[in-house]
Amino acid sequence: MGGDYYEILELNRNATDADIKKAYRRLALKFHPASNREPGSNERFRQLGEAYDVLSDLRKKATYDKFGDSGLKGGIPLELAIGGAWSSKYAYHDNPEKTFKDFFGSSNPFSDFYITDLPLQFGGLNPEENKIKDDPIERDLYLSLDDIYHGCIKKSKISRKVMNDDGCTSSIRDKILTVTVKPGWKDGTRITFPKEGDQGPNNIAADMVFIVREKPHPLFERQDNDLIYHKEISLEMALTGFAVDVETLDGRIIKIPVNEIVHPSYKKVVPGEGMPLPHNPSQKGDLIFTFDILFPEKLSAESKSLIKQALRD
């Protein structure tokens, strides 16, 4: 072959098995004939296959490290073959494509790197441009109205596959994603963490997307940037006036007088007491009061007479 196996893989002699796999993966993709048309790339691809074939095998590697290329290919006496060293003559099968396919575990290792039938160009593969990205992973993020009014920090733990240093195997690891909730966010707001899904040798990791889901509030109903407050009142209150005390989401008690006659479609609007506007939290929507009028189930004759007389005036 000529040349040092470690130099061919651009490694030093302290390289680990993971380093060897990672280096072969990178260089074999770079110099594969399907992606590299430069002069000498075919020979370099063959050299990479032989270097990996030796250094990825513990017995061959042990012989090469101790006795060099001549010991590996010329064979060594059995009495010197200690520590599992190779004791017979080594010869590469001269099929770097087989080494490549065995490494990637596919009869068509480049299938995942093609979007069309067009060959790869310009001397190499750009994985981020040619790999297929996984579909987004969506999770609901349940928030109270108070969380959205004030803004808050929410943390979520995810478990995902992460590629190991060898570029081939993966392991499961946990990660904490932090969502900074902005005042005024609306139900359905999407927060995207790019490429936080499972990693793999032949894919681009999916985006992790959190979708805001607004939890019901005991007092208020949200409509866009407004807050709706429902209150039951008597017919007497509807006709004669009253005041409503309500605690706002920021903890204030406000008293709202209602001096108008409350009819079925009546609404009392208090400007600036609703939800913060998402793009300008210093401004707020309105607080809108709606009323359910409770009518008496029965009236005495005297009461009816008095009501008729009052309504005639």
pLDDT, tens digit only, all 313 positions of the chain: 557 999 999 999 999 999 999 999 999 988 888 878 888 888 999 999 999 999 998 888 888 888 888 888 887 655 555 555 545 688 888 888 888 888 876 545 555 443 333 333 333 444 455 578 888 999 999 999 999 999 999 999 999 888 887 777 788 999 999 999 999 999 999 999 999 998 887 788 899 999 999 999 999 999 999 999 999 999 999 999 999 999 999 999 999 999 999 998 999 999 999 999 999 999 999 999 999 999 988 888 888 888 888 887 6
pTM for this one? Answer: 0.58
The count of other CB atoms within 10 Å of the CB of residue 189 is 18
Strand (E) positions, the chain? 132-133, 137-143, 152-163, 170-181, 190-193, 203-204, 208-214, 220-223, 226-234, 242-247, 253-258, 267-270, 276-277, 280-284, 287-294
- Residue 33 parent element (H or E): none
In order, the DSSP letters of 225-291 are: TEEEEEEEEEHHHHHH-EEEEEE-TTS-EEEEEE-S---TT-EEEETT-SPEETTEEEEE--EEEEE
CB of 179 within 8 A of CB of 156? Answer: yes
Domains of the chain (ranges, CATH numbers): 5-130 (1.10.287.110), 133-214 (2.60.260.20), 220-312 (2.60.260.20)
Q: Are strands 220-223 and 152-163 parallel, antiparallel or unpaired?
A: unpaired
